[in-house]
Amino acid sequence: MTKTGIAAFDLTGKRAVVTGAAGLLGREHAAALAQIGAEVILTDIGETALQAAQTELAPFYGNRIRVAVMDVTSEASILHLADQVGPVDVLVNNAAIDPKVTAEGGGLELSRLEHFPLEEWNRQISVGLSGAFLCARIFGSSMAARGGGVILNIASDLAVIAPDQRLYRKLDLPAHEQPVKPVTYSVIKTALLGLTRYLAAYWAEQGVRANAISPGGVFNDHPAEFVERLAALIPMRRMAELSEYRAAVQFLCSPASSYMTGQNLVIDGGRSII
């Protein structure tokens, strides 16, 4: 019988893989899935950070939390993990390089479009976009072959709006030395929405659903001045708390969203509506 209502938020007996899971939000996504019964494999390139994540989550979720090194830029690494863990029902494409906006001043500001290095463009795209494609291809193909599964791509509010570069302005620097949010972030996050729609349509008849979330910025001890500037752009006048994406991840990765595919859930305190 089909589960309805709150009972549909149940992943007992299901296996999930989260990429970039040793980071700030990845751990949270892993906890969200474990909380509703899934066995979760946290994957990342950082072994020490992965161990720390396991130490943090295992007291709550016991042996439903597993960790494994997996580099999303390496097809061999993904295939190796896929081989080791067995059937995967849920994939969360979360890994990304978040280009920090910092400026030393007094030189070429490499974050700016005029100087942004091609190598950096390629490096970030290989993690945030090609990595998501490779994981979707490898895990999604076997989901389709087995009759179903779920892919969740972690985009950003910057998938639906352009960065407001005033957020990063440094008072003491001339215009051409001002640091900016690099072009890569917008391109990668927007492209993930295209990937989401493509996968959703491609595998709909095989029972594989693909959706995205577009989170706004999570407060993580940012400088007060930055928080103030950002809050002024957000109707709810604050950044997100870490736990505020948990329910969305549970909804989109479980049968609670069984008739939803190819969509992007924007959770940004209203930033993108004004």
Contacts with ligand NAD by CB under 6 A lie at: 19-20, 22-26, 44-46, 49, 71-73, 94-98, 127, 131, 154, 156, 215, 217-218
Q: In the bound complex, what is the minimum distance in angstroms from residue 220's beta carbon to ligand NAD? A: 7
Query: Comparing C-alpha atoms, which of 260, 261, 253, 257 is closest to residue 31?
Result: 253
User: What is the number of other CB atoms lying within 10 angstroms of the CB of residue 83?
Assistant: 9
Q: In the bound complex, what is the minimum distance in angstroms from residue 38's beta carbon to ligand NAD? A: 19
Active site residue 185: yes
Q: At what angle do helices 24-35 and 47-61 cross, to 10 degrees?
A: 30
Return the number of the residue (144 or 161) whose C-beta is nearest ligand NAD. Answer: 161
Active-site position among 61, 185, 202, 259 = 185
**Residue 249 corresponds to which tokens in the numbers above?**
């991840």
Return the number of the residue (74 or 206) whose C-beta is nearest ligand NAD. Answer: 74
Q: In the bound complex, what is the minimum distance in angstroms from residue 45's beta carbon to ligand NAD? A: 4
Return the number of the residue (103 or 161) whose C-beta is nearest ligand NAD. Answer: 161
Closest residue to ligand NAD: CB criterion = 23
Q: In the bound complex, what is the minimum distance in angstroms from residue 58's beta carbon to ligand NAD? A: 18
Q: In the bound complex, what is the minimum distance in angstroms from residue 258's beta carbon to ligand NAD? A: 25
Return the number of the residue (70 or 256) whose C-beta is nearest ligand NAD. Answer: 70
Return the number of the residue (23 or 140) whose C-beta is nearest ligand NAD. Answer: 23
User: Annotated catalytic sites, by residue?
Assistant: 185
